Amino acid sequence: MDGAFAGFGPGVFAWFEGLERDNSKAYFTATRDVYEAEVRGGLIALLEELAATLGGDVRVFRQQRDLRFSADRTPYKTRTYGILQDPERAAGGLYAELSARGLYAGAGFARLARDQLARFRAAVDDARTGAALAEAAASARAAGLDVAGGSLRTAPRGVPRDHPRIDLLRHTALFAGSRLAGAHGISRDAGLAHVAGTWRAAGPLVAWLEAHVGPSALALGPRGPSSR
């Protein structure tokens, strides 16, 4: 691979299907050239091309799973993912992911530490700032994005169940994203347009999170900050 993003061929998604069937060192070793050149290499090339326009540092995470805190002993993640990370922005980076299901892009907070969660709930509860988030979430949905993130089954403690923004208040994380199917491959232009377009559509929601939640002041534990 020469470093230029050329799209994701059908073999990329077939590789993930194979990994789901045989999540073993033997499979990974035998197909490592596909992983390095087409899967990880392709994702890096995509992010680097977008970084040239949008700024930020490219970070692609390791494929090996951290087994120290998991009962699942399979050695490899069944998705490959990375971010464009800008130290001047509070949100967790602009995210892109490959898996057997296709190419996913999203942005927001994939987790909220305790201090962030307190600020989030206070801002959602406030009539003015809460209405602004509801509008940003509606805008993302209108653009075809899914607004997601961890959510409580019921209202947080001290919040009435009939609160006008109870669906947002139940969230313990919040992000918006969309997925492009990849069974027949994804062309260069389609991949770039999907990821950039998703990030752009998620922009108002991300801006709200940066303005009203911001970064956590808590130290990260082995599994990241707690949102409970």
Domain residues of the chain, as ranges? 10-212
pLDDT at 219: 53
Per-residue CA distances from 9 to 78, 98, 102, 185 (Å): 17, 12, 11, 4
pLDDT digits (tens, 9 = 90+) for 175-194: 999 999 998 999 999 999 99
Give pLDDT tens digits for 25-37.
999 999 999 999 9
Whether this model's pTM surpasses 0.75: yes
Q: Give the model's confidence band at 69: pLDDT under 50 very low, under 70 low, under 90 confident, else very high.
A: confident
pLDDT-above-70 percentage for the chain: 92
Please give the CATH topology (third level) of the domain spanning 10-212.
BirA Bifunctional Protein; domain 2 (3.30.930)
The arrangement of strands across the sheet holding 79-85 comes to 57-60, 79-85, 94-99, 102-109, 174-180, 146-148
**Mean pLDDT value across the chain:** 92
Return the bridge partners of 107, or none. 94, 176
Q: Span 76-103, mean pLDDT?
A: 88
Q: Is the pLDDT of residue 90 over 60?
A: no
Confidence tier at 221 by pLDDT (50, 70, 90):
very low
